[in-house]
């Protein structure tokens, strides 16, 4: 195993394939009959770069992507995952590779590689920067990129630089026969076609390697031998590298030193019996786990255990890189295990997976202009006799007002509704806000009802993935049992739908309109929802009367969900002076990250603008001034 070099700024650079995977969402059917697809980053090296980053390694990727939306998606998603993207080159002549996949049955996943003259296969020596490679403790080369002369030359250059600079060389054999021209377009799932030409190329790579990883079929193609034991001996004859033999559900065997006549005579890690749901991408998850151990000085048995566990996560879930575990998730699983053979059904693990791999990283500050109000603006429009279409136009002004205050800085956001705010959402998408939320509740409903349809899951599929669901519930611990049960069931349904479609959730609890607010009122309400397994990303709460109330709330959140993003304060229609006092009171509650306030900011401008007493610019300026005053007040409370 490698020693840890503190002078290197990267742990591993992976080189080769990067694609956009389009996974069929209908399971147990042919690709011909698949109707919709889920999009994710794919390709062996890209998957491993993401997998290792999630496990805490400093990873980077060298590849090419097209100068188009799919190429930008790969770059942006890798960056969001913590992968260094300095080695991702943009090819202005070629398209990003695509892969279409389906799950027909256990272990049967037909796929189509759309890779004719694609960007990543055009990688060449000029794309490999010497200083960049020298900055890493290891480089990982992949078998597919030895199939073309230019990409082969690029990988061999990286190998030379790594060896000259004391870096380690990792070889992921990654054999896809049809990417070597040995199988047809429809044979993307084919794992082995014997080829002397492929074997000759791969055998020439082996002497330069420190770690070689492959399945039984890949070990055979890399050696040219016809059985696994002979293949291992042939590899050992030309390379002193550590060899990891992947054996699917049987785990793996690690070989250091001479290869005996007993195939089982190697180092094995702990196995994890789980249900096989989808085998695609499992090897890349496995490699990610092994590298986390191998590159941090763990023994081979530990590295193999981590590799097996990461592979177990992958085969129990649908996609590739999005399903790989974070270090927190892996650690929880290794310590606690799971009562489910299908890990995707384990709520505790799934919550850690969700919370530690959110699309957007930490949001330590959130100041949002809330303009998701519907009833209040309808009342004003009706009172003034103006058409409801004017409400939609006014909401576009609130976006401009918030943007003037935010000026593209992090920590600003908006709440906008779908009923009147569709055009405002389009505007907000261009403003670089940190956070956008939209409500689903029927305004004023008690018991809680959703606004457009009670089939909430079908609505959420249409939302942008970065829009946060907001749901207001008038909820008090002293509510009648029947009412409480009905509202709890509604919130649980919403939580499950949010997780199913991958959208963040903010639950707004207003208890003060339903009964007295004591020091334990809101904390009790939160605990009752946590007891149902409801773990929203955010809470939106009314100002509390005492520091003790805030401490109780924080204690409940910390106990039940340490990964909760935090709390934002709601404003109702309180005067700005009262809100500033409420801001001061939250100094005792670090979990309160900001506010989402509306009527205090926009209500006067809305009335004046709809009445014709303010033009667009005056309304924008008025709201921007009020929003800025509140943001300044909040920042003062946090010493910012």
341-386 pLDDT, tens per residue? 888 889 999 999 999 999 888 999 999 999 999 999 999 999 999 9
Which pLDDT score is estimated for 320?
A: 85
Mean pLDDT of the chain: 93
What's the pLDDT at 181? 78
- In angstroms, the Cα distances linking 212 to 196, 253, 260, 264, 571 are 19, 12, 18, 17, 59
Residue 86 CA: distances (Å) to CA of 10, 64, 156, 479, 633 = 12, 11, 19, 56, 39
What one-character-per-residue DSSP string does 145-182 give?
GGSSHHHHHHHHHHHHHHHHTT-EEEEE----GGGGTS
pLDDT above 60 (res 547): yes
How big, in percent rounded to 5, are the helix, strand and coil portions of the chain?
A: 45, 20, 35
Q: What is the pLDDT of residues 434-487, one digit of tens each?
A: 999 999 999 999 999 999 999 998 889 889 999 999 999 999 999 999 999 999
> pLDDT > 70: what percent of the chain?
97
* Per-residue pLDDT reduced to its tens digit, 304-333: 999 999 999 988 888 889 999 999 999 999
CA dist 485 → 307, 447, 475, 494 (Å): 43, 10, 11, 14
Question: What architecture is domain 10-345?
Answer: 3-Layer(aba) Sandwich (3.40)
- Summarize the confidence of residues 574-579 as an average pLDDT: 89
**306 by DSSP, 3-state: which?**
helix
Alpha-carbon distance 276 to 56, whole Å?
26
DSSP string for residues in 582-617: HHHHGGG-TTEEEEEE-HHHHHHHHHHHHTTSS-HH
- Tens of pLDDT, residue by residue over 145-200, are 999 999 999 999 999 999 999 999 999 999 988 788 776 555 545 566 888 999 99
Of 172, 169, 196, whose CA–CA distance to 182 is shortest? 196
Burial of 586 (0-12, 13-18, 19+ CB in 10 A): buried
- Work out the average pLDDT over 121-132: 97
d(CA 579, CA 583): 6
- pTM score, two decimals? 0.92
Tally DSSP H helices, then E strands, for the chain. Answer: 21, 20
Give residue-wise pLDDT tens across range 65-83: 999 999 999 999 999 999 9
**pLDDT, position 348:** 94
CA R_g for the chain: 28
Cα–chain center distance at 186 = 30
Q: Is 134 helix (H, G, I), strand (E, B) or coil?
A: helix
Q: With CA atoms as reference, report the closest residue to 603 among 578, 631, 577, 576.
A: 576
Beta-carbon count within 10 A of 340 CB: 16
- Note the pLDDT of residue 187: 53
Of the chain, the percentage scoring pLDDT greater than 90 comes to 80
User: Do 94 and 117 contact (CB within 8 A), yes or no?
Assistant: yes
pLDDT of residue 188: 45
Collapse the DSSP code of 312 into the 3-class scheme (helix H, G, I; strand E, B; otherwise coil) and give the result: helix
Residue 602 preceded by cis peptide, ω within 30: no
pLDDT computed for residue 27 by the predictor: 83
**Residue (of 552, 626, 546, 558) closest to 586 by Cα position:** 546
């Amino acid at each position: 195993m490698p020693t840890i070099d503190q002078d290197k700024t990267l742990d591993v650079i992976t080189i080769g394939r990067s694609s956009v995977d389009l996974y069929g969402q209908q399971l147990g059917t042919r690709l011909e009959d698949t109707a919709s697809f889920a999009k994710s980053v794919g390709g062996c090296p890209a998957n491993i770069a993401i997998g290792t980053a999630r496990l805490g390694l400093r990873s980077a990727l060298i590849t090419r992507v097209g100068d188009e939306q799919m190429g930008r998606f790969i770059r942006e998603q890798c960056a969001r995952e913590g992968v260094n993207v300095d080695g991702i080159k943009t090819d202005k002549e070629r398209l990003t590779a695509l892969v279409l996949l389906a799950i027909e049955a256990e272990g049967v996943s037909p796929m189509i590689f759309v890779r004719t003259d694609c960007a990543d296969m055009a990688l060449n020596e000029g794309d490999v920067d010497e200083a960049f490679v020298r900055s890493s403790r290891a480089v990982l080369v992949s078998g597919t990129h030895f199939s073309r002369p230019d990409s082969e030359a690029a990988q061999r250059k990286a190998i030379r630089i790594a060896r000259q600079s004391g870096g380690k060389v990792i070889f992921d054999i990654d054999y896809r026969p049809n990417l070597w021209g040995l199988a047809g377009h429809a044979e993307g799932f084919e794992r082995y076609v014997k080829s002397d030409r492929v074997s000759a190329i791969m055998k020439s790579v082996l002497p330069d390697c420190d770690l070689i990883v492959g399945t039984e079929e890949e070990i055979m193609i890399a050696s040219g031998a016809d059985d696994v034991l002979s293949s291992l001996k042939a590899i050992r004859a030309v390379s002193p590298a550590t060899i990891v033999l992947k054996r699917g559900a049987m785990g793996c065997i690690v070989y250091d030193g001479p290869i005996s006549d007993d195939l089982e005579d190697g180092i094995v890690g702990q196995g994890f019996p789980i249900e096989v749901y989808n085998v695609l991408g499992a090897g890349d998850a496995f490699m990610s786990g092994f590298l986390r151990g191998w590159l941090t000085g763990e023994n081979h048995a530990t590295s193999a255990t981590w590799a097996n566990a990461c592979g177990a996560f992958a085969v129990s879930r649908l996609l590739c890189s999005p399903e790989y575990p974070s270090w927190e998730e892996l650690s929880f699983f290794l310590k606690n295990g799971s009562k489910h053979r299908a890990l995707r059904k384990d709520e505790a693990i799934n919550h850690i997976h969700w919370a530690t791999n959110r699309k957007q990283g930490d949001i330590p500050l959130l100041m949002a202009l809330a303009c998701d109000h519907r009833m209040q603006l309808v009342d004003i429009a009706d009172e003034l006799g103006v058409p409801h279409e004017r409400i939609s136009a006014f909401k576009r002004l609130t976006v401009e007002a918030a943007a003037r205050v935010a000026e593209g800085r992090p920590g600003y956001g908006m709440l906008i509704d779908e009923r009147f705010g569709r055009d405002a959402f389009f505007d907000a998408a261009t403003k670089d806000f940190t956070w956008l939320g939209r409500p689903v509740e029927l305004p004023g409903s008690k018991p809680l009802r959703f606004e457009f349809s009670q089939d909430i899951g079908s609505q959420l599929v249409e939302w942008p993935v970065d829009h946060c669901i907001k749901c207001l519930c008038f909820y008090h611990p002293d509510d009648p049992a029947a009412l409480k049960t009905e509202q709890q069931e509604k919130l649980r349904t919403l939580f499950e739908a949010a997780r199913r479609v991958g959208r963040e959730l903010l639950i707004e609890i207003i208890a003060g309109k339903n009964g007295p607010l004591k020091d334990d009122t809101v904390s009790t309400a939160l605990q009752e929802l946590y007891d149902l397994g409801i773990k929203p990303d955010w809470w939106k709460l009314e100002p509390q009367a005492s520091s003790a109330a805030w401490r109780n709330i924080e204690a409940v959140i910390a106990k039940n969900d340490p990964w909760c993003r935090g709390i934002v304060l709601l404003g109702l229609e309180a005067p700005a002076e009262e809100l500033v006092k409420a801001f001061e009171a939250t100094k005792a509650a670090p979990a309160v990250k900001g506010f989402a306030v509306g009527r205090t900011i926009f209500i006067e401008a809305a009335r004046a603008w709809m009445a014709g007493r303010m033009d667009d610019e005056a309304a924008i300026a008025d709201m921007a001034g009020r929003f800025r005053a509140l943001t300044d007040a909040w920042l003062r409370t946090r010493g910012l």
